[in-house]
Amino acid sequence: MKKLFNRLSVFAAVVVTVALLAGCRSNSGQITQVSTINALMAGAYQGQMACGELLQYGNCGVGTFDSLDGEMLILDGTVYQIKADGKVYRPNARVTTPFACVVDFKASKPVTLKPCDMKQFTTEFDAMYPDTHLFYAVRVDGKFKQVVARSVPRQHPPYKKLVEVAKNQKVFTLKNVEGTIFGIRCPEFVKGLNVPGYHLHFITKDRTKGGHVLSFQLKSGQMQADSYNVFKMILPVDSKNLKNIDMAKDRSHEIEKVEK
Ligand SMILES: [Zn+2]
């Protein structure tokens, strides 16, 4: 009888532990997005969620900041702000974002990459992960012959459309750098909500430079990936600033110009 009781105790302890772990991993398999890409494209740059709250939805991600003040990269639970001066800042938890995507990145076994450019890399990734109806996060840690990255300057109201702002984007050509690319591959059907295809951001290993990736040439590196089949979208409730924002308009051409 005592033995049975001990077994039951162990069983109960396991059940409680599993339940607790499940509670901690509530973002498992989920990509969480703040606002829509069309709202951002149309000039809705007012921050909707604080970085501190955003981190509750994941430890890695990409996005931008209130007033479009630079590119956001979240890596291993740290938020980096890469401003148009090319420098990397660490915003406090109260700084807000008008658009971001975060995931709880649970990395797969690393795959060693051969030297490749961005096109070769995405072609290879698509071949390895053909489930294009799912969201994927990808991380590459490596040495790069070159990374061409950009950031956008802080905007002041009345806000111009992103396609106009992007004409004044700052482009940085980083040569012979070590660092990390992190980003999302979205399904094509997210058109209007997010960026279909790849959206990659970069940061150097010493966390001093980076930006939204326009192209790269990798010398050597390791790649990890994770997939998500739960899509959570947190829409802005900012009716004052969204009054004149047309979120339904097809902005595919504008997104192509701005993001690629
Ligand atoms: Zn970006």
Q: Which residues contact 5 (CB under 8 A, 6 or more apart)?
A: none
Q: Where are the alpha helices (DSSP H) in the chain?
A: 2-24, 37-41, 51-54, 118-128, 162-165, 239-242, 252-259
- Distance (angstroms) between ligand 1 centre and the Cα of 253 equals 16
17 C-alpha vs ligand 1 centroid, how far in Å?
A: 38
The structural domains of the chain, with segments of one domain joined by +, span: 27-259
Encode pLDDT of 101-117 as tens digits. 999 999 889 999 999 99
Residue 178 contacts residue 144 (beta carbons within 8 Å): yes
Q: Which residues of the chain have pLDDT under 50?
A: 19-20, 22-23
**Could you read off the pLDDT of 225-236 as tens digits, one per residue?**
999 999 999 999
Q: How far is the CA of 200 from the centre of ligand 1 (A)?
A: 6
From ligand 1's centre to the CA of 23, what distance in Å? 31
Distance 83 CA to ligand 1 centre (A): 12
CA distance linking residue 100 with residue 63, whole number of Å: 4
Centre of ligand 1 to C-alpha 148, Å, is: 13
Closest residue by Cα to residue 188 from 123, 232, 133, 227: 133
**Spacing, Cα 43 to ligand 1 middle (Å):** 15
Distance from Cα 259 to the centre of ligand 1, integer Å: 7
* CB contact set of 93 (below 8 Å; sequence gap of 6+): 50, 51, 52, 55
pLDDT at 23: 46
Q: How many residues does the chain have?
A: 260
Ligand 1: distance of its center to the CA of 62 in Å? 6
What does the radius of gyration of the chain's CA atoms come to, in whole angstroms?
20
According to the model, what pLDDT value does residue 162 have?
93
Cα 101 to middle of ligand 1, angstroms: 10
pLDDT of residue 62: 98
Peptide bond into 158 cis (omega under 30): yes
Q: What is the pLDDT of residue 56?
A: 97
Predicted local distance difference test score (pLDDT) of residue 81: 98
pLDDT in the model for residue 173 = 98
pTM, 2 dp: 0.89
User: How far, in Å, from the CA of 178 to the mean position of ligand 1?
Assistant: 20
Mapped to the 3 state alphabet, what secondary structure does 83-103 carry? CCCCCEECCCCCCEECCEEEE
Q: How far apart are CA 176 and CA 238, in angstroms?
A: 43
Answer CATH for 27-259 from 3.30.1330.80, 3.40.50.300, 1.25.40.10, 3.10.620.30: 3.30.1330.80
